[in-house]
Homo-oligomer: A and B are copies of this chain.
Amino acid sequence: MQEGKKKVTLRDIAEKTGLSVNTVSRVLNKKPYYTKEVEEKVNAACKELGYIVDMNASGLRSGSTRTVAILYDDLVNPFYSYTTDIISKRLEERGYNCIMFSNNDRSPYVDYELMRNVMARKPDAILSYLEPQSDLLDFIKNTGIPFVIFGRDGTPYGMTGINADEVAAGRLAGQYLLDCGYKTIAYIGSWHDVKVCLDRQRGLQEALEQNGLHLKEEHVFYIRERELAEVVKKVVEDKADGILCFNDVIAFVMIEALLEHGLRAGEDYGIVGFDNVQQMMRMPRFLTTIDAGCRDLAETGAEVMLDLLTGAEEERPPFAATHKPILVKGNSTKNIR
């Protein structure tokens, strides 16, 4: 079983066993109609010669590459790496491999260049952490390849999405900041036009409005579009004391940046993130954050992908209906009433 010198093909197995290539293929793919005897002969020959199927050839002929494309922005943020780890392992157990595609920091969207690269690999399905560029929706649908948006609402794109209730999550965080007694609330988003970023912002707004307040436009920042220094300057000047960040990593960046101004999270101001990456990394808890249940989200994602890949028609309630976001208290906020 440890050859590898020359590549062993089905033909070699056929010659060795005296069967046809066809029959060998049928046995290996467990198609019906072959005798026990033939099966054993084939398996023995495969083992002896160290046969390994060529998935490229197989995929070319059969139309199924047993490959899933994962479209991502940034593996560093644990939300991505943690969920990708779970999803890719689940898929691998079932014989699918993941091919990674990034937007290489071009934009927060799936663009045509990205889709070209993806389509060249003929994946059986696509799981995207990126929202699709709106002028690409038809193209994506026309491919006929299942496209699942992970961690974001698919509804506005008419696509399957695996996502938490982001508005509720934003509301929960906002209400908590107000309950703590923070007065001037700011939101630090990522991009001004990414839906999940706006949903959390909307939740925050709703919480403020329920308390007779408003989220001021000048206190909403999109950090991927603006200089960090500029954002910090404004936050400091306006003495924003309750800061909600689109995710934990942005929260960390803000904490560091504000520290340079002598401002300490949990002392001089309260800060809340999203994702609970501390738990993923098994870190001591410091940051107050919203946990949407990323492990379950990833498991659901893997199941939905497998349903699509195998053609199973499972009835699943939307993730957001069964999983409510929870607030995880850390030391980056405190009751200042």
Contacts and interface: CB of A to CB of B under 8 A. Distances in A.
A143 B253 contact: no
A150 B51 CA distance: 28
Interface stretch (A94-102, A174-182, A210-218, A311-319): A94-102
A175 B54 CA distance: 52
Contacts of A253: 282
Interface stretch (A17-25, A31-39, A73-81, A188-196): A73-81
A187 to B, nearest CB: 19
A56 B121 CA distance: 7
Interface stretch (A112-120, A155-163, A232-240, A301-309): A112-120
A110 interface: no
Interface in A57-79: 57, 59-60, 65, 67, 74-76, 78
B139 A2 contact: yes
Contacts of A5: 142
Interface residues of A, number: 62
A26 to B, nearest CB: 18
A252 B59 contact: no
Copies per complex?
2
A78 B252 CA distance: 15
Interface in A124-155: 136, 138-139, 142-144
A139 to B, nearest CB: 4
B277 A259 contact: no
A53 interface: yes
B252 A119 contact: no
Nearest to A135: B2
Interface of A: 1-5, 52-57, 59-60, 65, 67, 74-76, 78, 80-82, 84-85, 88-89, 92-93, 97-102, 104-105, 112, 116-117, 119-122, 136, 138-139, 142-144, 249, 252-253, 255-256, 259, 277, 280-284, 286
5 contacts: A4-B142, A56-B65, A75-B75, A99-B100, A259-B284
